[in-house]
Amino acid sequence: ASAKYCTENQILQRPPVVYFEDPKEFPEIETHIDETVEQFAFEIVRYPNGVKEGLVDLVDQNSRTLAFVLGTRQGDPNSGDQGSFAPSSSYMPPFMRVNPIISWTYGQIWQFINLHEITVCPLYLKGYTSLGKVDNTEKNPALRQADGSYMAASYLTNWSLERLGRNGKTGDSSATVSAVKEAVERIKRAKNVGLVIVGDEVLLGKVSEENSKYAVEEFRKRGMPLVRIAVVRDNESEIAAEILRQSDACDMVIMSGGMGPTHDDVTLKAVASAFHTIVEENAQMMRVLPAICNLTNSELLSESQRQSAMLPRGGDLMWSADAK
């Protein structure tokens, strides 16, 4: 509304920008802020004594009620049950929080940035997906490539792993645990299911296909109809195409077959291909494989056993109740 009013009345209005300085800030962020302020001629107010103290000073200096436009999104720390408009927390001075992107997903953020060619902090081009401070933020391991380099943040395919580099942890970090919990909740909310069965031996009649009958019965017990079943040969592109087809039509897609260590087991490669990622050695799987194979350490794993740790990048491992 403000933009429409200013445009119709030929008013050039630049809202003031507030920046709460922190000695642990990334230098790249400081530079990006300076360059953005200069580029758009923003009026910036800096507070060197932190967020809470800075807000107290800012509110005390203004007689009218203040509103701050923020980049808070659902799932962010301290986002709680905020909506598009939310009063400040009880431990803060009184002001209104305006959250225009509160319901945006990680993917929508990057779609908007790329569509409008918005310049971002260079850290997002170097493997960082969520920026805290220098002492609690690392590059996101989900973006790490085989040669040790990192892809840009916009290439993250599993959006639930956005915060995997926070708190200075990787692998089994709290971010990973949170991502798995979120995935479990998505599964619980699923209303229908699709099943992709992979194997030339099924289509050639060499083996009897029994998974679909079992799946229909089990999902019916849970009130989740199986709306599509497809049997696909061992062909990576055909499997990937069916995965995408079912992903568009179903809340959840189950894969069966073609996940072993032999050369014709291409299901995992097809999953990676469908979601524009790669298959790589999964560190978490490598840590649990020795116990699963009744070995004392990973060095004793055979080549075929190690192949079991080659999984699509960005996937979350979830164990059944009777798994080791």
299 DSSP assignment: G
pLDDT given at position 316: 74
Per-residue pLDDT tens for 133-152? 998 899 988 788 877 889 99
Q: How far, in Å, CA of 306 to CA of 301, rounded?
A: 6
Label residue 277 exposed, middle or buried (CB < 10 Å: 0-12, 13-18, 19+): buried
Q: Tell which residue, 227, 203, 231, 230, has the closest CA to residue 216.
A: 227
Q: Taking a C-beta distance cutoff of 8 angstroms, is the pair 285, 318 a contact? A: no
User: What pTM was computed for the model?
Assistant: 0.54
pLDDT given at position 141: 82
Bridge partner residues of 44 (DSSP): 17
Spans of the chain, pLDDT less than 50: 168-173, 321-324
Per-residue pLDDT tens for 188-228? 788 899 999 998 888 998 988 888 888 899 888 888 889 99
pLDDT given at position 171: 43
- Residue 175 three-state SS: helix
